[in-house]
Structure 1
Amino acid sequence: MRRKLSPNWLKRILNVWPPFLGAGIKVLTISENWDYAKVRLKKGLLNTNYFGTAYGGSLFSMTDPFYVLMLTNQLGRNYIVWDKGASIKYISPGRSHVYCEFRLTKQQVDEIRRHADINEKYEPEFEVDIIDESGELVAKVFKKLHIKRKAKKAD
C-alpha cells in the first residue's frame, strides 16, 4: 500500500524538483487540508527573457501541478485527476518576483465529486492570477482538469 505524502513533504519535494529549482520556482505553502497553495517565481538570471522580464515558460510552469495535486488529495484514491489543458494570457511584464495562489472551497470540491460520481467524466476549469510584488497582474492562467471516478472493482 502506497503512503500518502503530507502537504509539507510534498512542498519539500517540489522545492528541490529540478524543473522548479532550475526555474526559480518555490512552493511557499500548501495547507494541511489541501485547499490552498502559494507559489513564488524568484526573478533571476536563469528565468529572465531578452527584455529583462520574467520568462513566460517559467510563469506558466509555476501554475502547472497544483490543482491536480490539491484535488487528488481532497477527493481521494477513488478518483482520477489529470490536467486536460491550459492557456496563459500575458497582461503586463513581470519585472520583479511574482506569486500565484491556488484555492479550493469545500463547495467546489463537493460539486466536483458530485459531477464525477454522476457523469463518466467532469472537466472543471480554474483561473489563476500571477501577480508581482506590487500587486500588479502579470498573467492569467486558465486550467482545465479531467476528473473521473475510478471503476469499482468486481468482487
Structure 2
Amino acid sequence: MLKPSPRLLKTIINLWPPFLGAGIKVCHIAADWKQVDVRLRLGLTNRNYVGVHFGGSLYSMTDPFFMLMLMQSLGRDYVVWDKAGAIEYHKPGTGVVSASFRLDETQLQDIRQRTAAGEKYLPQLQVDIHDQAGDLVATVHKTLYVRRKKGR
C-alpha cells in the first residue's frame, strides 16, 4: 500500500467529484495524520428545501476521515474499515460549517493493544460540526472496524 503524503491526499480529495460538487473542502491534514480540518460552504448544490445545509452533505463532509487517519497512523499491518455512522442534528447549518478531526497517541495505543493478538476492535469516534459563530450544528458518530492483519 502506497502511503500518500498529507498534501497529495488533500489535493486528491479536494478534486474528488463528490466533494467538489458538494462544496466540501479539506483545509488541513497534519503531517502525522492526527488532525484533519474540513469545511463546507452553503451553496446551490448542498442546500435543502428550506435553504439550510442538506443533512447528507453534512454527513458526507465527515465520512472518510477517521478511517483514513487510522489507516495512515496505524500502517500496513492493520485493516481499517468504516462500520457504522450516525448524525445527530442540533440546529440548522447556514453559511460555512466546519469539522476538526483529532486522534491522539493514547487512542492509537489503545487500538494497538486491543488488536495485538488479531482481535477485531470497534472504536467509536465522534466529530462535531460547527458554524462560523462556533455554534454546534451536528455531531457525527462513527464506528470503525480495526484488526491487525494475520501474520503481522
TM-score (norm 2): 0.97
1:96 Cα offset (Å): 1.3
Which portions of structure 1, spanning 4 or more consecutive aligned residues, are displaced by more than 2 angstroms? none
* Partner-residue secondary structure (3-state), 2:45: helix
* Partner-residue secondary structure (3-state), 1:142: strand
Residue deviations 1:28-57 (CA, integer Å, cap 9, x gap): 000000000000011101100111100000
* Partner-residue secondary structure (3-state), 2:21: helix
What residue identity is the alignment partner of 1:11?
K
The answer to whether residue 102 in structure 2 is matched with residue 99 in structure 1 is no
Instruction: Give ranges in structure 2 of 5+ residues lacking alignment.
Output: none
Report the equivalent of 1:144: 143
What residue identity is the alignment partner of 2:128?
D
1:71 Cα offset (Å): 0.6
Cα distance in 2 between the residues matched to 1:50 and 1:107: 42
1:137 Cα offset (Å): 0.4
The answer to whether residue 94 in structure 2 is matched with residue 123 in structure 1 is no
What residue identity is the alignment partner of 1:67?
F
Report the equivalent of 1:5: 4
Report the equivalent of 1:15: 14
1:119 Cα offset (Å): 5.1
2:118, 2:150 within 8 Å by CA — same for their partners in 1? Answer: no
Report the equivalent of 1:48: 47
Report the equivalent of 1:132: 131
1:102 Cα offset (Å): 0.4
RMSD: 1.0
Cα distance in 1 between the residues matched to 2:94 and 2:2: 41
Cα distance in 2 between the residues matched to 1:118 and 1:3: 25
2:36, 2:100 within 8 Å by CA — same for their partners in 1? Answer: yes
Aligned length: 152
Percent identity between matched residues is: 51
